[in-house]
Structure 1
Amino acid sequence: ELLEARLTGIDDGDSRSNAGGTKSRTPAKRGREDESDKQQAATAPFSSIGESEGGGEEKKQKKAGNGGEKSTRANGGGKDKAAVGVHPPSLAATSATADARTQPSIVAVLKSRHISSSSVGGGGVAEGEVEKIRQELREERERRKKVEEELGKEREEGNRRLEEVHQLFEEERKSSEEQRQRERECFRDILAQSAALEREKARTEATHNSLRLGRIVSHRIGHRSFEAFEDGLELQRSAALTKRIEDELAEIEAELNRREGKEVDKQLSSEVMKVRRDRLRDELAEQKRRREVLSREKEELIRELRRIREEEHCRFRHFDVILHNRYLPLSLVGKGGFSEVYRAYDLHELRYVAVKVHEVNENWTEDRKMNYVRHATREYDIHKSLKHERVVALYDVFEIDSSSFATVLEFCSGGDLELYLKSKSTLPEAEARVIIAQVVSGLRYLNQQRKRVIHYDLKPGNILFHEGEVKITDFGLSKVVEESSADSLELTSQGAGTYWYLPPECFASASPHTPPKISSKVDVWSVGVIFFQLLFGRRPFGEGESQEAILAKGTMLRAKAVTFPAQPGVSLQTKAFLRRCLAFDVKDRPDVLSLAEDPYLNLA
């Protein structure tokens, strides 16, 4: 393009020289011609050129017509103002690359080859010089064509290689996904096989324990059927041994009573019988302790047998379903009225979780279905924001189908406090105190929220163990105290909950227009009942009574003072703490935050 511009300037200069001859130009005429040259240079197809080569040649031609000296000076000025080519901004990427490669040779040509004034004769340019420039122009065009062809080939090769890279990347991605899918399926199979082995092991142990302890049998009387537990061999032997000891002890007692006050020889034999009586009493006491252990094992066996039976008929028992494309149910933990809890494995986070499946009965009315869903949604809304080491974490919630949904919770491998207490009967004071301190720590967190939470259903079954730590769960009956509310709120669900663990104010009779008020002191009462149960193996009020009997007799409304059994003995500080928790009058009972600062728990 630079060579073409130069040729154009030479042609224009020849035309003007031929037209003007050797006549001298007036200053005005030279000014007009110079102005025309400037306008032509401004319209040249370059972004920045100091002075076009063609304009320089025109000036040389004009000055050559005015005399040799002026021509020489003009030619020298044109040499100083030789222009360097610049890429026009409108060129395509390929042309720009070609220009970048050809430009240095063009610039070198323009700098090295000048049309001197000596080559200009009679106002024209030598034909040999013009032909040489045209030859160079043809060579540059050929060179540019070759460069463009090379660039085209390189571009095609680059595109081909890029496509190959894309194909390799896509194949690698698909291969990785397939590999991950195979690994996931393999891992799922391993988990399912392991769970199947655990299930078989549990059934074998249950069968073995059934021979020792007994089994559940069904009986039918008329149209009514019920279940009963038949004692196993060990329980039968223990019962027979206990009866034999009791009978023998009764005979000795009767004989001693008959011989009382008789002659000396009979008195000596009576002393022997007394020794034997004391030995039998010790044996009877030992046998009773043994019977208590067997009874606790029997309760655990009954619970396990029912779980196994429910697992055989549960919804996700075949390890063939991955819920929410993530959770693999492995075993049934328990079953409630309208829900099933599974131990499952999270295939994304690689951890065990508890999946609680909520079922909506299709035979329910629409109002009942809505109430159930509303209740479960409310529990989820309360639980989802709670993040504390003493509260079971809620991970996820999802829909299974139109009649069921699931919540995903932290899995606690240690069971609940109720089962632990049944296996121990009572706990040492120090251990029970540590458990209660952890429970109160969790309750304190609930009452430090912007919207305070009253658990309202705190009991051993809702306190779980995980790796030696205590965690609170089940917020189905929890109450939320709004920021604008006072420390208490109206109890609108009177009658709900577990009566043995609820304080007297929850049973206070009130008209529908003035329901009773409750606060976090409800949970403080529950803490006192649980602590008492851990220490003495029974609840302080309503022990042995059903919930219906507690309500009918008004047991909790008469629970004005707590009495402590003689055994096992506990410290005075523990008794004082229990009295504070179980204070009948709400005003005398501390709230959760005050209880957490009690020196007895050492939580402050």
Structure 2
Amino acid sequence: MEAQILPQPKFNENLGALTARELVLDMKAKIKCQQLAVTGQKSKAWDLLKKKITSAKIEDALTSAKIYVNGHKFTILRPLGEGGYSTVYEVYSRDKKLYALKIVNLAIHADCVKQDLIREIVFLEKLKKCDLVVKAFDYELRKTEDEHKMFVLMEKGDKDFHQILEEHRNRKSLSPAKLRYFWEEMLEAVLELHENNIIHTDLKPGNFLLVGGQLKIIDFGLAMELRAGQDYAYRKFVGGTNKYLSPESLSGGSSFDPSGSKLCTKSDVWALGIVLYQAVYGVLPFSSVPGGRAAKLNATNDPNIPVDFEVSSSIDPHLLDTMKRCLEKNPEKRASIKELLVHPYLRPELGSKIEQVSSTCNVCKKKGRKLAKISSQRNQQTLSQ
């Protein structure tokens, strides 16, 4: 290796010895900076190379991961999401079509939970004609000595509503019109379930998937079906996502109510109210309650602790009323999906009519009709004279 010839400092005798020494030190400092810069560039180059190698290894591993559903081969591209019960992957078939493949590990769950998770196939089959429910194309239950899993092949969406909310929050771009649009989409989707006598029981932003510009409902692992002529279904365990559980859902399996949770379609309305509250305020109800997760769940179930709503001039009064009607702790007083779809928040033209009808009681209406009749008789007598 050739020795590097360093530039020599120019020495001017007229400057004196002290100035010459400063020039030498300055030159050494510059050389050291150049060496550090070269070292840094090498380090950055090596970090970039390592990242590429690691990325390539991961890509190769996923590309080489093959999975079969009822004998049909799929290639796993990447994980899309993971929940408490399952993992969802993006896969493509031999004809290069993209799907979402949900894999549920049934071996790690209790028998009662297994049956509920397996019944998801039944619900998806029953709802396959619903436009606002994610489409399922194939299923397989696989039980061997090594594994006990369920595979569900579904249509792939673009992003879920949780991701949509995060993007809009970061950009501060969730306008009132967009929020109203998404709210109506969610209501329409849930209405399809309720008209088919199905309660989802686990509604949350992550279970609304944007597919071709429409929000569709996914994940029926904890759904329940209402029997003909019944308005309620019973569950002996607390199932769902804690943050979105209704007050009546939290009583399941307790010593006070051994029959379990008494659930109805209004339980889904509560969860939708939480989603709307989160979109409006950026936080969940009872987030300010001290004491951790257990204290917040107790606050949800306690009829003496109301939901706190921040009132400001920037919040549409009809939007505020919608949230209040969804987050009514008594399910009998809580609004239904059909009522929310004709609420003035979505149908402003109905606002004045609804207010007029609601503000006049039946007694007043009868008195009004009697007075109108008397007035008419007097006018007729006056004309006859």
TM-score by length of 2: 0.65
Q: Does the C-alpha gap of structure 1 residues 563 and 534 become closer, same or farther in structure 2, counting only changes over 3 Å? A: same
Q: Whose radius of gyration is greater, 1 or 2?
A: 1
- The SS at the match of 2:314 is coil
Which residue is equivalent to 1:420?
164
Tell me the amino acid that sits aligned with residue 507 of structure 1.
Answer: L
Matching residue within 78, 101, 126 for 1:355? 101
Whether 2:234 is the aligned partner of 1:490: answer yes
CA distance in 2, matches of 1:599, 1:568: 18
Matching residue within 319, 333, 337 for 1:574? 319
More strand by share: 2
Matching residue within 176, 190, 193 for 1:446? 193
Matching residue within 247, 250, 262 for 1:517? 262
Q: Which has the higher contact order (CA 8 A, sep 6+)?
A: 2
Aligned-residue offset at 1:546: 4.8
- The SS at the match of 1:447 is helix
Which residue is equivalent to 1:375?
116
CA distance in 2, matches of 1:322, 1:497: 30
Residues 104-115 of structure 1: matches in 2 within 5 Å? Answer: none
Residues 264-283 of structure 1: matches in 2 within 5 Å? Answer: none
Whether 2:84 is the aligned partner of 1:341: answer no
Which residue is equivalent to 2:182?
435
Whether 2:133 is the aligned partner of 1:394: answer no
CA-to-aligned-CA distance 1:417-464 (integer Å, 9 cap, x gap): 112222332622221111110111011111112xx0111111111111
Q: Does the C-alpha gap of structure 1 residues 473 and 546 become closer, same or farther in structure 2, counting only changes over 3 Å? A: farther
Q: Does the C-alpha gap of structure 1 residues 475 and 568 become closer, same or farther in structure 2, counting only changes over 3 Å? A: farther
CA distance in 2, matches of 1:315, 1:446: 39
Q: Residues 299 and 305 of structure 2 are in contact (CA less than 8 Å); yes or no, is this contact kept in structure 1?
A: no
CA distance in 1, matches of 2:68, 2:263: 43
Tell me the amino acid that sits aligned with residue 97 of structure 2.
Answer: R
Unaligned 5+ runs, structure 2: 1-47, 351-385
CA-to-aligned-CA distance 1:571-599 (integer Å, 9 cap, x gap): 11111111111122222212223333434
Matching residue within 385, 389, 392 for 2:126? 385
Question: Following TM superposition, where does structure 1 have runs of at least 4 consecutive aligned residues deviating by more than 6 angstroms?
Answer: none
Tell me the amino acid that sits aligned with residue 388 of structure 1.
Answer: C
Unaligned 5+ runs, structure 1: 1-203, 209-304
- The SS at the match of 1:384 is helix
CA distance in 1, matches of 2:321, 2:286: 17
Q: Does the C-alpha gap of structure 1 residues 431 and 372 become closer, same or farther in structure 2, counting only changes over 3 Å? A: same
CA-to-aligned-CA distance 1:19-48 (integer Å, 9 cap, x gap): xxxxxxxxxxxxxxxxxxxxxxxxxxxxxx
Q: Residues 64 and 75 of structure 2 are in contact (CA less than 8 Å); yes or no, is this contact kept in structure 1?
A: no
Residues 49-60 of structure 1: matches in 2 within 5 Å? Answer: none
Q: Does the C-alpha gap of structure 1 residues 330 and 401 become closer, same or farther in structure 2, counting only changes over 3 Å? A: farther
CA distance in 2, matches of 1:395, 1:597: 34
CA distance in 1, matches of 2:123, 2:247: 26
Aligned-residue offset at 1:539: 1.5
More helix by share: 1
Q: Does the C-alpha gap of structure 1 residues 464 and 570 become closer, same or farther in structure 2, counting only changes over 3 Å? A: same
CA distance in 2, matches of 1:496, 1:352: 31
Q: Residues 357 and 407 of structure 1 are in contact (CA less than 8 Å); yes or no, is this contact kept in structure 2?
A: yes
Q: Does the C-alpha gap of structure 1 residues 409 and 320 become closer, same or farther in structure 2, counting only changes over 3 Å? A: closer
Residues 124-523 of structure 1: matches in 2 within 5 Å? Answer: 312=58, 318-321=64-67, 323=69, 324-337=71-84, 339-347=86-94, 351-361=97-107, 368=109, 370-371=111-112, 373-386=114-127, 387-399=129-141, 402=144, 403=147, 404-413=149-158, 415-425=159-169, 427-449=174-196, 452-485=197-230, 487-493=231-237, 495-508=238-251, 511-523=256-268
Q: Residues 541 and 559 of structure 1 are in contact (CA less than 8 Å); yes or no, is this contact kept in structure 2?
A: no
- The SS at the match of 1:547 is helix
- The SS at the match of 2:240 is coil
Aligned-residue offset at 1:515: 3.4
Q: Does the C-alpha gap of structure 1 residues 347 and 483 become closer, same or farther in structure 2, counting only changes over 3 Å? A: farther
CA distance in 2, matches of 1:377, 1:393: 17
RMSD between superposed Cα atoms in Å: 3.4
Identity over aligned residues, as a percent?
25
Tell me the amino acid that sits aligned with residue 93 of structure 2.
Answer: D
